[in-house]
Amino acid sequence: MRKILCTAVVAAVVLVALARLGHADAIQVPSEPLAIRQVSLFKNGLAFFTGQITCPPETASFQVALPVAPCHGTFWVSYPADLAVAGIVARQTESQQMIDAVTIPEILRANPDRKVQLTIGDRNVTGVIRHVASNRDATGRDPYAPPSFPHAYRSIEQPQQGSLLIVETDAGELSIDPRAIAQVIFLDGKAERRFPQGGKSPMLHVQLKKPAAGVKMAVSFLAKGAAWTPSYRIDISDAAMARLSAQALIVNDACEWKGADAQLVTGFPHLQFADATSPLALQQDLAQFLQALSTRRAESRGIDVTSNIMTQSVTYNGPQDQPSMPVYGASEIGQVAEDLFLYPAGRLDLGVREVAYVPLFTESVPCKHIYQWDIADCVSREGIYWYWRSERESGREEEEAVWHGVRLTNTTKVPWTTAPGETVKNGALLGQDTLSYTPVGAENTLRLTRAIGVKTEQAEHEVNRRRQAVHMYGCDWDLDTIQGDLSIVNLQDKTIDLEITKTLSGKLKNADSEPRMEKLAAGVHLMNGRQKLTWNLQLGPGEKKAITYTYDVYVRP
């Protein structure tokens, strides 16, 4: 009997020692940082991160915290061929952090085994805090339990707030709802105001076959939470050469990076699974992941990196003291990756919820003032001559606006991405418009303001109609001959370059001043083909100009 008892005692001691050793080993697994070395930022809230892990000395096991949830299919770990990796597993790891108590239940949790006096209603309770219940996590049913065994499903429970306090009093242990406590007096000294809050965080647990001190492992992934937004400022004080400055704001809501090389990506990437979170983030179960994956496949959509560009137009008399234009230096030669372009933005230190102002370049580019008058088509896609008929019958004929703008030629080394463009002259703000994507060597026009010094009139009227000229697509069509008349007067005291564009459906018969004609592919499937006429005129001070054009169009009566 004595031998059996001794054996049992020894076995119990050994088991306790092994359990403690295993627990200590689990706690002592070192955590290595994932140092972000490079960030490539898109304009739509996505960023491509490249980081580095250094293997610790004297141990073959370590863990790495994921700084942000990666997008599905984009997380990759790279390492030398001679590094013997036994396995990489993502698992939830218990962690604790000290937080401030903000409620009575939390201040009670922060002070276990303290002697207190509690005020509950109209009575006081004196005792020692022995237990404060924590919140209960929500549970759900197992979506993969066999349907023939309904008892295998866990019951669906909602998160439950902890509402139990046990106080040891002279009369025994007293259970209290801490939410009913109006006041707490600590009778044995100053109260502790912070308490440890436990939680789980996803960690990558790396197991090597043998220690590899100092060996580098590279990690890359696409994730949400960081973006860049560009803007331009164009100084047109010189009528022939504009000073164009570009800057970027980098918004970081994802994770902290220090000394990371930032690149600003412009282009139209196709990222089909950007909205599907990688299973490595441990944010969803398998059923939820498969559902999200199926949805992304069905959508098969790309990402529009030109969205969320807000525009406005402002004009006022600027201050007398002219602010100097920013001078950022010439643009650097970026990197071309297939159809994308990467602006180098230098090395940045940026924390979470921080925004970096990054100057890009300032250069002089050719500039030409241009006045534009764009006249819309008067025939609908269904062949109904609707615009002028409704306007003339209601007596509300209105002319399209003439806009004064500047035509810029991109002679820099980098393309201009779509962004707000602010125009100034001699320190005064003239306006703001969207400068659309402009490749190197191409031209683009930026609107300044409506040209109130250029008076225009237009009119279209029917000069001939042949009833039931043709029967097609199940209905009769009339053939109309339409004559358009344009009138322009330059009321300014300077010569202007005017560009008139007119979109029309039908067949042009004749037009004054020899416009440039361009057939539009958008009308090839319609009854009437569409074309665009462009007149480029130069009008002196006070000069008038009249233009007449005639075209045939099939219309439905």
Closest C-alpha to 389, from 468, 476, 460: 460
Which residue would you say has higher pLDDT here, 142 or 246? Answer: 246
- pLDDT tens by residue, 493-531: 999 999 999 999 999 999 999 999 998 887 677 888 899
For the chain, give every domain's residue range: 102-192
**CATH number assigned to the domain with residue range 102-192, chosen from the 4 options 3.30.870.10, 2.30.30.40, 2.30.30.520, 3.50.50.60:** 2.30.30.520
Amino acid at 545: K
Closest C-alpha to 162, from 179, 147, 148, 149: 179
* pLDDT on residue 26: 42
Closest C-alpha to 306, from 227, 411, 247, 410: 227
Q: What is the pTM of this model?
A: 0.70
What value does the mean pLDDT of the chain take?
Answer: 82
* pLDDT on residue 289: 84
* pLDDT on residue 294: 78
Distance between first and last Cα of the chain = 113
In this structure, what token pair is assigned to residue 306?
């030109």
Residue 486: exposed, middle, or buried by beta-carbon count in 10 A (0-12, 13-18, 19+)?
buried
* 353 φ, ψ (degrees, to nearest 5): 65, 35
Give the SS3 label for residue 429.
strand
Which residue would you say has higher pLDDT here, 423 or 147? Answer: 423
What Cα–Cα distance (Å) separates residue 393 from each residue in 161, 388, 396, 458, 473? 69, 8, 8, 16, 29
Q: DSSP label at 112?
A: T
- pLDDT tens by residue, 31-44: 888 999 999 999 98
Percent with pLDDT over 90 in the chain:
55
- pLDDT tens by residue, 342-384: 788 889 999 999 999 999 889 999 999 999 999 988 887 666 7
In angstroms, the CA 280 to CA 202 distance is: 8
Whether the per-residue pLDDT at 306 is higher than 50: the answer is: no
Whether the per-residue pLDDT at 339 is higher than 90: the answer is: no
**Quick check: 108 and 128 in contact, CB under 8 A?**
no
Whether the per-residue pLDDT at 25 is higher than 60: the answer is: no
Whether the per-residue pLDDT at 539 is higher than 80: the answer is: yes
Average pLDDT over residues 103-132: 93
In this structure, what token pair is assigned to residue 548?
């007449």
Average pLDDT over residues 197-220: 89
Confidence band (pLDDT; 50, 70, 90) for 303? very low
86-111 burial, b for 16+ CB within 10 Å, e for fewer? eeeebeebeeeeeeebeebbbbbbbb
In angstroms, the CA 351 to CA 386 distance is: 57
Q: Strand pairing of 226-235 and 419-425? A: parallel
CA angle centred on 549, ends 547 and 551, rounded to 5°: 170
